[in-house]
Each structure stands twice: as structure tokens, then as C-alpha cells.
Amino acid sequence: MQTQSRRLVENLLDKEALVFPPPKRFDTLRIEAAVKEILAAIGEDPEREGLLDTPARVARMLKELTAGHGADPVKELSCRFVEEKAGLVLVKDIAFSSTCEHHMLPFTGVAHVAYLPQDGQITGLSKLARVVETVSKRLQVQERMTAQIADALEALQPLGIFVMVEAEHSCMVLRGIKKPGSATITTDCRGIYKQDSQARSELLTLLNRA
């Protein structure tokens, strides 16, 4: 195992090996080897006691944080019902944490997800939270994450979709501009909530209620 790990580290040092094809599965061994190289590259000793288990910990962490890659959020909406009198469905403040693909630092916040059923077609409320969880567990940008949530809701064929995501980005807090407390808001409006300003205004009023 040590020989194989050492070989992977040597491959990482080969410039031609720095361009990797996407793995077909989560490659724990490759990640551990890469983390060891990063530790060495910043001047640390990967073999010192406090860092011996760090590569394995980082691999487990990345597996959890990217569990949504390859997962289809639409499958979370397979549980559907017909409720003929159903009106607007809005779930506010769905907490999430995701990982920015630019610096691989976390961004965290809440998502507000709404849809207006057509012909009474609804899904379980918890399923909306599962959609948010699935798309957040990927290397993401907030704008794409917002759109992917809305894309999944299209499976319900509703009259309207509205998604708002509010988040704080570590890449703005810990590095660069270093502005803690700044929030980024993204939205995606579809159907009636894009076409009808009054319907959109009524929805925003509900969102702004304490």
C-alpha cells in the first residue's frame, strides 16, 4: 500500500500527470496521495504525528462534501400526490452548506423554494429540502446551484417556480477582500413567477415575513 501511495505521489510530480481524467468513482487513495503532496508543498512534514491521519481525514471529508456528484435531484421528487385544492407551496430557510469550486472553500446559507402546483400535482415537503441537499453536495457556484434546484422542480410541471438562495462565502471572508457578514442572494423565477410581477411580488412578501 505504501509503495502504491508513493507511486501516486511521484505521478503527481510529473507535469503530464497533473491533467487527470475525471475518475469514474471516488478515488480515496489518489486524494490521500495528493493531500500528502500539498502538505509537503507548503513546507509541512506529512509524516509528523499531527498530520499522519490528515490525508485520510481530508479524503473522507471530500467524499461527504461531494456526495451529490452524479446524483439526480429529480429522483428526490418521485413521491408525488394529487391535492386538487393545493395552492402555493413555499418552504423557507432550508439550511445548506456547499463547496465553492473556485477555491474549494465552503459557502453556507439558506434556500427558499416555492412552486405553484398544476392540476394539484405536489410532492412531500421534505423532498424539497432533499433536492437542496443533493445539489449543494457538489463543487458549486451559487448561481448554478440556484438554477439546478429550479431545474429539478420542473419535473413537477408546476405553473410557477421560484428559488432564492442566500449565502455567505468563505472565499470572501477568509481571503481576498475579507468582508465577513456580506451575503450573496441569487434567484431563479420561472413560469408565472417570471411572467406575472404581481404574483412574484406576493411571493416576495411572504418571504419577507419574519
Active site residues: 100-103, 142, 169, 171
Return the beta strands (E) in the chain as ranges: 80-82, 89-100, 106-116, 121-123, 139-140, 160-169, 184-191
* 196-203 contact pairs (CB < 8 A, 24+): 196/160, 199/116, 199/160, 200/162, 203/88, 203/90, 203/114, 203/162
C-alpha–C-alpha distance, residues 38 and 35, integer Å: 5
